[in-house]
């Protein structure tokens, strides 16, 4: 009933640990798999080590989280043993998330992480911390999105998912551009923003970077709309991510068009056990409403 598929990669349940929550360490990814995640995603990995921003980098507010971690990671070569450990021990599909500051670097990072044989590669072309020469995330430009995916597809046979930004009025067009480049699927969405929180006693922004991406329950309606638009634009499988904390949230994502559901900030709200809880809640809903499979629910909200 709960099985699903992402570009030929089979998941026992539709929950996916989203990128950025549990770092790059193989042990942490394995732990999340044991907690019930149907697949696990590494923190985004770059060609060289990146230290990120100084603290404070993460803040909670009434309806979500603002973060500007700065994509800290050890670099692709250093991350390889951790990805390999996860692939060997997680017993669920491992998704290697990558990012870069140039199109050429995207190809180099993809080539390196492919040595660890993750089941999928997620191409983070949407992070607000990495921009093209015009100050935009790569995923704001259809042409660049196509070329980035083409570059990566030339160096790996592993299925590639493009992670898209909600900070564009044409996310469906960007998804089609990624598909044109050879993408095997889409992850949507990355954080919304940037946003800001201010310490009124100190009279200044709280984050060291001043601004950061917004995640958590506050962005769920935006994520749903993006997944809905992408599903209208392409038949590629989608990992719907953004504000999912319950089984009902997950069902909404699936009905909007997602084949699987990424959980990120939800780990903060409900702990690592969220994956089993959400899976159980999805199953109870399906049994109550007479749905027999995830595929049967996928995109049903588009029907007249």
Q: Active-site residues: which are they?
A: 127
> Of 71, 175, 43, whose CA–CA distance to 128 is shortest?
71
**How much is the CA Rg of the chain, to the nearest whole Å?**
18
What phi, psi does 106 have (nearest 5°)? Answer: -55, -45
> Of 291, 229, 219, whose CA–CA distance to 249 is shortest?
219
Dist CA 81 CA 132 (whole Å): 30
DSSP 279-291: HHHHHHHHHHHT-
The H or E element that residue 261 is part of is strand 260-263
| Both tokens assigned to 97 | 């998330």
HSE toward the beta carbon, residue 161, CA cutoff 13 A: 33
- Yes or no: say if 269 and 246 are a contact pair by the CB < 8 Å rule: no
**H helical segments located in the chain:** 26-34, 76-89, 103-113, 142-153, 171-180, 220-233, 247-256, 266-270, 274-289, 294-297
SS3 147: helix
HSE toward the beta carbon, residue 24, CA cutoff 13 A: 23
Residue corresponding to tokens 């991406």: 213
Q: What share of the chain is helix, strand, coil (3-state, %, to 5)?
A: 40, 20, 40
């Amino acid at each position: 009933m709960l099985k699903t598929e992402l570009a030929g990669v089979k998941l026992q349940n539709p929950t996916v640990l989203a990128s950025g929550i549990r770092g790059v360490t193989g042990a942490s990814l394995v732990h999340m798999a044991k907690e019930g995640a149907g697949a696990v995603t590494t923190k985004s990995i770059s060609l060289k080590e990146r230290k990120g921003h100084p603290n404070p980098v993460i803040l909670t507010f009434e309806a979500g989280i603002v973060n500007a971690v700065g994509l800290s990671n050890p670099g692709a070569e250093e991350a390889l043993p951790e990805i390999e450990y996860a692939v060997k021990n997680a017993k669920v599909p491992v998704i290697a998330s990558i990012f870069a500051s140039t199109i050429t670097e995207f190809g180099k990072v993809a080539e390196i992480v492919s040595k660890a044989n993750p089941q999928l590669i997620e191409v983070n072309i949407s992070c607000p911390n990495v921009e093209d020469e015009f100050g935009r995330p790569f995923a704001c430009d259809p042409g660049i999105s196509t070329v980035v995916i083409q570059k990566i597809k030339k160096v790996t046979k592993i299925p590639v998912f493009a992670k898209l930004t909600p900070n564009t009025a044409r996310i469906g067009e960007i998804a089609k551009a990624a598909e044109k480049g050879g993408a095997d699927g889409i992850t949507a969405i990355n954080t919304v923003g940037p946003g800001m929180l201010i310490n009124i006693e100190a009279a200044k922004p709280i984050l060291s970077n001043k601004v950061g991406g917004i995640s958590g329950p506050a962005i769920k309606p935006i994520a749903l709309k993006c997944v809905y638009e992408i599903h209208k634009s392409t038949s590629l499988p989608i990992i719907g991510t953004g504000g999912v904390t319950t089984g009902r949230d997950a069902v909404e994502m699936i009905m909007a068009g997602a084949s699987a559901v990424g959980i990120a900030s939800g780990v903060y709200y409900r702990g690592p056990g969220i994956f089993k809880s959400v899976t159980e809640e999805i199953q109870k809903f399906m049994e109550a409403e007479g749905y027999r499979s995830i595929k049967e629910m996928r995109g049903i909200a588009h029907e007249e």
